Structure 1
Amino acid sequence: MPISIAELAAASGRAYKTSLIKSANEALAKSKQTAFLCHSHTDVKLAEGLQVLLAENGWDLYIDWKDHEMPDQPNKETAIKIKQKISDMDWFLFLATPNSTKSKWCPWEIGFADSKKPHDRILVIPTTDSGRWYGNEYLQLYRNIEKAKGGGLAAFPAAQKSGGMLLKSLR
């Protein structure tokens, strides 16, 4: 089942120790999965909520606007650094919201990830709001992270609602 926008917003207010991962080596030393989050910067609360949910499932999430080394305004340096972070992290995650599906940067980021990452290392987090699913057709090509029936989060094969693997056991 997709994660609701309200659930992500609520998770952003929960106290959970999360950390900013600056390198894949740092995460490997902690034996944690790392992921680059592709999202709209207007979805700050949702990104923070997802960071909490993933941390609860043993993953560290890289969020570019939390990185003090990123330029204040997007430019060529931003693109270079984003490409490097996408390459360094274990996974690429696309938070599908009304804002990210309209973004100019998000399609560019997933296009870059698609050319650099193995297909099974790209995951989409579909969201819902009052029963409406958010995402574009091309996002249905990738596996999804959704709520598992028994609790927690799981990665499901593209366009399927069964056969998911819990994130805690996904490597």
Structure 2
Amino acid sequence: MSIITKSHLRGFRNATRTFSKGINESLLEFSSETKAEKVTIFLSHKHDETEELDSAISLLKSFGVLVYVDWQDDGMPKHTSGTTANRIKEKIKENQKFIFLGTEGAISSKWCNWELGYGDSHKYLKNIAILPIRNDINSSYSGSEYMQIYPSIEHLDGTRKNNAGDYIPKGYYVLEPADSNGSQSFVTLKKWIIR
């Protein structure tokens, strides 16, 4: 698995900004966009990981999507309750795609894992993906065991070959879980979003 590092994602976010803006201001701006003619994505994430969230939204928005995050939803109750869970279930079903922002914090979060389980039952396999993030290239990734059953969003650097032996162009891809022979099918992130 070619897991994206936090610094890679942060670099993408910083490269796509035309002016300096705080993370919270950036996140609020994302929530005010119109849904008209856009693919919608439920982004499951750990609430206190705002830098990773802002970076992931910047990446996804570069593909012309609308990203839903629960804490920007005015319909959410002020205090976590059963109503919160029901609202999240509605939103997972309502949004076309489900992406789990797979940081170490999200992997250990009861809520994020619950959302992933619910997303699994409503979006599997065509409309669900894991965006695995780790701290740096040398850090371990404790969530790789159960994440192996889901498609993953990865950045390929142009050095990997496909099953025919041709180099895969540099870019973001959604890779299906490997089959029993170790082969993986893949599609560009852009094509996955619109299919």
Normalised by the shorter chain, which TM-score bucket? 0.7 to 0.9
Contact 2:154 2:172 in 1 (8 A): yes
**How far, CA to CA, are the matches of 1:134 and 1:50 in structure 2?**
20
1:152 corresponds to: 171
1:168 corresponds in structure 2 to 190
CA RMSD of aligned residues (A): 2.5
Distance verdict in 2 for CA 1:6–1:161, change over 3 Å? farther
Aligned partners of 2:6 and 2:52 also within 8 Å: yes
Q: How many residues align?
A: 166
- Measured in 1, the distance between the counterparts of 2:31 and 2:189 equals 19
Q: Give the gaps of 5 or more residues in structure 2.
A: 19-25, 159-168
Asked whether the 8 Å contact 1:38–1:109 carries over to 2, the reply is yes
Where 1:120 maps in the other structure, the secondary structure is coil
**2:44 matched residue in structure 1:** 38
- How far apart in 1 are the matches of 2:63 and 2:133? 18
Amino acid at match of 1:147: H
> Identity of counterpart residues, as a percentage?
31
Task: Choose the corresponding residue for 2:88, options 74, 82, 85.
Answer: 82
Residue matched to 1:141: 149
Counting only pairs closer than 5 Å after superposition, residues 5-24 of structure 1 correspond to structure 2 as 5-13=6-14, 14-15=16-17, 19-20=30-31
Q: What is the aligned partner in structure 2 of residue 2 from structure 1?
A: 3
Change in CA separation of 1:86 and 1:21 when aligned onto 2, cut-off 3 Å: farther
Partner Cα distance (2:84, 2:183) in 1? 36
Do the aligned partners of 2:104 and 2:141 also contact (CA within 8 Å) in 1? Answer: no
Whole-Å separation in 1 of the counterparts to 2:170 and 2:79: 39
Mapping of residues 47-62 of structure 1, within 5 Å: 47-62=53-68
Q: Counterparts of 1:60 and 1:7 in 2: how far apart (Å)?
A: 22
CA distance change for structure 1 residues 108 and 21 in 2, over 3 Å: closer, same or farther?
farther
Report the Cα offset of residue 59 of structure 1.
2.3
CA distance in 2: counterparts of 1:21 and 1:93, whole angstroms: 20
TM-score (norm 1): 0.83
- Which structure's residues are more often strand, by fraction? 1
Deviation at 1:126, TM superposition (A): 1.1
Equivalent position of 1:65 in the other structure: 71
Higher relative contact order (CA closer than 8 Å, sequence separation 6+): 1
Q: Do structure 1's residue 119 and structure 2's residue 125 form an aligned pair? A: yes
Higher Rg of the two aligned structures? 2
Amino acid at match of 2:141: W
Q: CA deviation at 1:162?
A: 5.3
Q: Distance in 2 between matches of 1:161 and 1:53?
A: 27
Judge conservation of contact 1:147–1:154 (CA < 8 Å) in 2.
yes
- 1:21 and 1:62 in contact (8 A); partners too: no
> Structure 1 residue 8: deviation in Å?
2.8
- Aligned residue type for 2:9: L
Q: Which residue of 1 aligns with 2:164?
A: none
